[in-house]
Structure 1
Amino acid sequence: MNPPLRLTHDGPLAILILDSPPLNLFDLAMWDAWEAAVTRLSADPPRAVLVRAEGRVVSAGVDVRVFADTDPAAAEAFWARRLRIAQDLEALPCPTVFAAHSLTLTAAFELALACDLIVATPAARFGLVERKVAFTPSMGGTQRLAGRAGPGRARELVLTGDLYRAATLAEWGVVNALFPPAGFAEAVHGYAMRLAAGPPRAHAATKRVVRAFVDGGVAAADALVPPVAAALVRTEDHRAAVAAFLSDGPDHTTTYLGR
């Protein structure tokens, strides 16, 4: 039996592929595969991560049988473990990209929101539809959606349970880039590979500054910037890029070593 989630690599780029036909549902096997993959990536971070899916849909969300089988006495621990997957994905020091070519519901959308960047086809649809089973998103999707689009939009999307096209979510600031369906897989791979070829220490620093802002506002981010900048000044990548810029201009092709 094939795993529901595959982790492959293309040089510096790690690729997570949902492949559990026909709907890429989040059942226990899918969650276990995600937990194992994120644990592996955390232990040995790549230069960037691309998440994509095989099949007609990205994911139809949580397998409803999970709700039927959950022991109420164990529910808090169960959902804390699922939330930890999103938190660990979010905490990776490298850029992470979630690519949605079509329908992306509940748990898959929540994991997309834990990534740095979301890219999609304009007609791809997203939804947090837990209200249909009298539930609420429990892998961090609501609060991360509020962080991207504001609390009012988060309330709207979760309370209505409606589906929203990627073109609309791009206007809200939730989706970062739109690519046409033709050649989508190649375009998003190139998008992610461009990030993987970038300066890893600088990328990690950017993520730290953004996290400081999310956690503590401008003042917390400001306090972090001077030591972060000082650490980057001491890196080989920074010195090599500055020298290349001075000799070859802004389109220089420096290879970054991550040190």
Structure 2
Amino acid sequence: MSVSDADGTAVPAVLEDPDAPLRLSFDGPLAVLTLASPPHNLFDDAMWQAWFAAVDWCEQNVPRALLIRAQGRVVSAGVDVRIFRDTPAEKVEEYWRRNLRIVQAVERLPCPTVFAAHALTLTAAFEIALACDFIVAVDGARFGLVERRVAFTPAMGGTQRLAERAGVSRARELVMTGRLYRASTLADWGVVNALFGAATFTDEAHAFASDLATGPTQAHVATKQVTREYLRGGVAAADAVLSAVVHRVSGTEDHRRAVEAFLAHGPDHQTEYLGR
């Protein structure tokens, strides 16, 4: 995969340095962010700064899909605990409000987003995963919001986003117990979308994201908008925007071409979607 996007847009140096804790690369229309700070992919100052650069880039150069993954034995052991010791009390609220913007930015991206977890995924990394449209994982991967161990609470929106996916009771259970939960359990809860085998996980996760990246991008964006309105205000809120949303999608090139291809070749047509 290259280190420049299909349009040749410059990638921030912090994200293409071979020693960067987070790297941005591309496979056609798919952007890939890889946590690459062994052995634990901790969220320390360098990782935070890389994430700020990454979400800024993605907001300004929206890909057709985004895959977030990790290198190493773990996805991430979470937040560097020294941050809790070293952040002055008067700076705590500002510090976590700023970091929460990473999760909010990922959540707002007008493209499909996939988080791929091959192993242990804790705290900040899990919270970013919960901001994505899809979480795919190895069956045995473990997840946790384990802030209890430092008498803290998830500060990047994990509690409420877990409640959104699995219900308030499950969110309280996971956060208050501080236990680790297997991906298979979270799949039963509706938190993890798909489980892949360990031997084929990298390829299957990439294929999952690539399928979204080469799909009808504007229709995917519409689905995200409608579901977000539903979460804000229920069926009535989603209904209120739906007509305008489908009107916009009806004018896209992909929709027009796909309709003609369907009429000519049936539902199994092989039309290439262009994302517009």
> If the length of structure 1 is used for normalisation, what is the TM-score?
0.99
2:62 aligned partner, one-letter code? P
> Tell me, which stretches of 5 or more residues in structure 2 are unaligned?
1-17
1:99 matched to 2:137? The reply is no
| 1:29-178 alignment, distance < 5 Å | 29-178=46-195
- Secondary structure at the aligned position of 2:247 is classed as helix
1:250 matched to 2:240? The reply is no
What is the aligned partner in structure 2 of residue 186 from structure 1?
203
- Secondary structure at the aligned position of 2:40 is classed as coil
Q: Deviations over 1:199-252 (max 9, x none)?
A: 111111111111111111111011111110111111111111111111112121
What is the aligned partner in structure 1 of residue 237 from structure 2?
220
What is the aligned partner in structure 1 of residue 6 from structure 2?
none
Mapped contact 2:64–2:111 kept (Cα < 8 A)? yes
In structure 2, C-alpha distance between the alignment counterparts of 1:57 and 1:251, rounded to whole Å: 40
Q: Deviations over 1:25-72 (max 9, x none)?
A: 000110110110011011010110000000000000001001111111
What is the aligned partner in structure 2 of residue 195 from structure 1?
212
- Secondary structure at the aligned position of 2:249 is classed as helix
1:20 matched to 2:3? The reply is no
1:10 matched to 2:20? The reply is no
> If the length of structure 2 is used for normalisation, what is the TM-score?
0.93
What is the aligned partner in structure 1 of residue 3 from structure 2?
none
Mapped contact 2:215–2:275 kept (Cα < 8 A)? no
- Secondary structure at the aligned position of 1:175 is classed as coil
Mapped contact 2:121–2:144 kept (Cα < 8 A)? yes
1:255 aligned partner, one-letter code? E
Superposed CA RMSD: 0.8
By how many angstroms is 1:257 displaced? 2.1
Aligned structure 1 segments of 4 or more residues deviating by more than 3 angstroms? none
1:238 aligned partner, one-letter code? H
In structure 2, C-alpha distance between the alignment counterparts of 1:226 and 1:12, rounded to whole Å: 28
- Secondary structure at the aligned position of 2:223 is classed as helix
- Number of aligned residue pairs: give it: 259
Mapped contact 2:30–2:209 kept (Cα < 8 A)? yes
Mapped contact 2:214–2:274 kept (Cα < 8 A)? no
1:193 aligned partner, one-letter code? S
Give the percent of matched residue pairs that are identical in Structure 1 and Structure 2.
66
In structure 1, C-alpha distance between the alignment counterparts of 2:250 and 2:203, rounded to whole Å: 35
What is the aligned partner in structure 1 of residue 15 from structure 2?
none
In structure 1, C-alpha distance between the alignment counterparts of 2:185 and 2:232, rounded to whole Å: 27
Q: Deviations over 1:131-160 (max 9, x none)?
A: 110100010100000000000000000000
